[in-house]
């Protein structure tokens, strides 16, 4: 059974800092990995999707890397802003069996102005 773990569970940083969010998964047989942002009480906004054959994806100040063999992904946020405050979730899609997303519990990020 696939398990996804996100560390840390919560993070508070001053504005302007670069930061790294971590995601690990137990089964490397994945199709892709997706990072989402969730504002309180709201739905999920997809940030980056990395296919299993890729090593990283970039969008603006966000960079996500994937090391499938070690079961790890990181989300790097450059020059953090108060508007980045949200919960960040990673999810993996398995290559076999059910193809539904398996999510981690998220990292709750607060960027202090």
Enumerate binding residues for another protein (CB under 8 A). 4, 31, 34, 36, 41-46, 49, 89, 91, 93, 98-106
Residue 79 CB, nearest distance to another protein (Å)?
Answer: 26
* Cβ count within 10 A of residue 60: 8
Nearer to another protein, 35 or 84 (CB): 35
Residue whose CB is less far from another protein, 42 or 61? 42
CB 104 within 8 A of CB 6: yes
Q: How far apart are CA 19 and CA 98, in angstroms?
A: 33
C-beta closer to another protein: residue 42 or 55: 42
CB 100 within 8 Å of CB 50: no
Q: Decide if 75 contacts 48 (C-beta within 8 A).
A: yes
Tallying the residues shown for the chain, one arrives at 113
The nearer residue to another protein, 71 or 106, going by C-beta atoms, is 106
Question: Closest separation between CB of residue 19 and another protein, Å?
Answer: 20
Minimum CB distance to another protein, residue 17 (Å): 25
Report the 10 Å Cβ neighbour count for 4: 21
Min dist CB 57 to another protein, Å, is 12
């Amino acid at each position: 059974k696939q398990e996804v773990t996100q560390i840390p569970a919560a993070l508070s940083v001053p504005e302007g800092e670069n930061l790294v969010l971590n995601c690990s998964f137990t089964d490397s047989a994945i199709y892709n990995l997706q990072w989402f942002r969730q504002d309180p009480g709201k739905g999920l906004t997809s940030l980056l999707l990395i296919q299993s054959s890729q090593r990283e994806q970039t969008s603006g100040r966000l960079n996500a890397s994937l090391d499938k063999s070690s079961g790890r992904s990181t989300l790097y946020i450059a020059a953090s802003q108060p508007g980045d405050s949200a919960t960040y979730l990673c999810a993996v899609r398995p290559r076999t069996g059910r193809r539904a997303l398996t999510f981690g519990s998220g990292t709750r990020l607060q960027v202090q102005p």
